[in-house]
Chain A
Amino acid sequence: MTNALEIEGLTKTYGSGFEALKGIDLQVAQGDFFALLGPNGAGKSTTLGIVCSLVTKSAGKVSVFGYDIDTHLSDAKLHLGVVPQEFNFNQFEKVFDIVTIQAGYYGIPLKKAAVSAEKYLKKLGLWDKRNTPARMLSGGMKRRLMIARALVHEPKLLILDEPTAGVDIELRRSMWAFLEEMNRQGTTIILTTHYLEEAEALCRNIAIIDHGRIIRNTSKRELLQQLSLETFLLDSEATLERAPELNGFSCRLDDEGVLEVDVHKGQVLNDVFIQLEQQGIKVVSMRTKANRLEELFIRMVEQNEPAAEAVTEGRK
């Protein structure tokens, strides 16, 4: 089956001489929910900008559903919906007009565009605001408006660059649910995000980009299996005076009296509870100290300094 996105040897050198991309290879399968992660300035937005025709590539090949952007740009664009990082609509236009005008650019007549606009504005909770000028919307509404605009022509590949930046947690969760539904219905989704919790919750495959190179490209499951140590926070029923001695585990109390336990790969978490039970300590709740993916991400990026070889692994 043709990949939703194929990138081969992609390079980009800006006019200033800055080499933003140093030969990127990437494949995203149809139906995937894919995360492109990386620190600021790593090359994420440049990569997606080239796919969306907002940035001109220096060399390499990009194809969307088999359509090469050098030879079949119009066909490639028809399959693509884009939600950029920055608000990029006319602030003075009304919500409904912004969405239907975008449909018009794709050659969809107004009558049909109006039906599609209504569908997505309702799904994203913006239908009541359809006659409101975009500048009057809240930040979260503006983000949802950009998603509705990107979907109005029913693209098969949706690219979202930091779609939940600055959005409160409740709204973020509802946007996640919406994106998961779109993905279940067959839309391939590529996402960049700074919230690694978001990538962990939504995506099946992940690529990490740093200094213009892909340093990891694998499935989320495989990536998380590489995690050798996790720290768990345990709240005990009674207030603890000092950290208990746990055989085989490193354990300490934090400033708020919460028990921190390090569990290495291969160790069994049940052993912690058995030992605590033996010491008469009852655990009422438990959580991980840091986002697992975040830990891995930071480690990989640090290891990549100053230069790295591109590593691409098979996905599950």
Chain B
Amino acid sequence: MNAHALFTAYITIVLREIRRFTRIWPQTLLPPAVTMTLYFIIFGNLIGSRIGEMGGFDYMSFIVPGLIMMAVITSSYANVVSSFFSMKFQRSVEELLVSPVPNWIILAGYVTGGMARGLGIGFIVTLLSLAFTRLQIHNLPMVVVTVFLTSALFAVGGFINALLATKFDDVSIVPTFILTPLTYLGGVFYSIDLLPEFWQGVSMINPILYMVNGFRFGILGVSDVNPFVSLGMILSFIAVLSFIALRLLARGKGIRH
């Protein structure tokens, strides 16, 4: 396939993914918007007003970057894992396997589709947050780069999960038992300065901490970790997970007999 044909194949996968999650928007776009609005009302407004400042900002302003990032992470992951696993389940993945699309285009197409949903949700949640707080941007390039890379990273993670999953339970195990705890303990609702020294150290091995703080630095200008270390961590994770995903695809793990 020449470059033009490869691009056509890539765009076909991306548009198909976008069409899929917009067609079922009450399942894909609405729930995170409702959940995040509740977070803003309960944690930001009601409880937040009693908490006072966090990291030099009122509590609502402090949690907004973390909540946006949480929505981006879960949506990017969920889109790819549910879409690709459904294709496996319905066997429509065979449409891709018999075609000449190279594995890296399949991965890129699904990751871009996941990013489209993750970033779309991020945008919706950002708009909703404006109803509760004034959002300032400290460093726009940092905001954009961090959110794009984080979305890409979790989309790749979702792809690996979908390849390895053999039943619907396997699709929900990682988000429920790994992703959600790591996100909640990744500094979305608090600064790790509040933790005892030992737990601060433990928090530093949580990759989501770097993403939330990199994004928070872009918006508020404050972070528990060096923002460039955050970017380096995200890029490293993307490289490692993409390598694993391509190896699994080449071996036909979960998709070829």
In the assembled complex, A292 has its CB within 8 A of some CB on chain B: no
In the assembled complex, A74 has its CB within 8 A of some CB on chain B: yes
Task: Report yes or no: B100 in contact with A88, Cβ–Cβ below 8 A.
Answer: no
Chain A residues, CB < 8 A from B12: 101, 104-105
Task: Report yes or no: A88 in contact with B95, Cβ–Cβ below 8 A.
Answer: yes
Chain A 17-34 against B: per-residue CB contact (8 Å), 1 yes, 0 no?
Answer: 000000000000000000
In the assembled complex, A131 has its CB within 8 A of some CB on chain B: no
How close is B95's CB to chain A, nearest CB, in angstroms? 6
Contact of A105 among B4, B90, B96 (CB under 8 A): B96
Task: Report yes or no: B9 in contact with A88, Cβ–Cβ below 8 A.
Answer: no
Chain A residues, CB < 8 A from B87: 90
The docked-state distance in angstroms from the alpha carbon of A105 to that of B101 is 6
Chain A residues, CB < 8 A from B49: none
How close is B154's CB to chain A, nearest CB, in angstroms? 24
A53-61, A164-172, A208-216, A295-303: which lies at the interface: A53-61
The docked-state distance in angstroms from the alpha carbon of A27 to that of B200 is 67
In the assembled complex, B248 has its CB within 8 A of some CB on chain A: no
Task: Report yes or no: B98 in contact with A80, Cβ–Cβ below 8 A.
Answer: yes
Task: Report yes or no: B92 in contact with A102, Cβ–Cβ below 8 A.
Answer: no
Minimal Cβ-Cβ distance residue in B for A159: B98
Minimal Cβ-Cβ distance residue in B for A45: B257
In the assembled complex, A246 has its CB within 8 A of some CB on chain B: no
Chain B 218-257 against A: per-residue CB contact (8 Å), 1 yes, 0 no?
Answer: 0000000000000000000000000000000000100011
The docked-state distance in angstroms from the alpha carbon of A55 to that of B92 is 15
A106-114, A198-206, A260-268: which lies at the interface: A106-114
Contact of B257 among A49, A90, A109 (CB under 8 A): A49
- Cβ < 8 Å to B, chain A residues 83-108: 84, 86-92, 97, 101-102, 104-108
Chain A residues, CB < 8 A from B102: 74
Chain A residues, CB < 8 A from B95: 88-89, 101-102, 105, 149
Task: Report yes or no: A56 in contact with B252, Cβ–Cβ below 8 A.
Answer: yes
Q: List 15 A-B contacts (CB under 8 A).
A: A53-B97, A54-B98, A73-B100, A77-B100, A84-B91, A88-B91, A88-B94, A89-B92, A90-B87, A90-B92, A97-B19, A105-B13, A106-B5, A106-B9, A107-B6
Give A residues with C-beta under 8 Å from B: 14, 49, 52-56, 73-75, 77-78, 80, 82, 84, 86-92, 97, 101-102, 104-109, 149
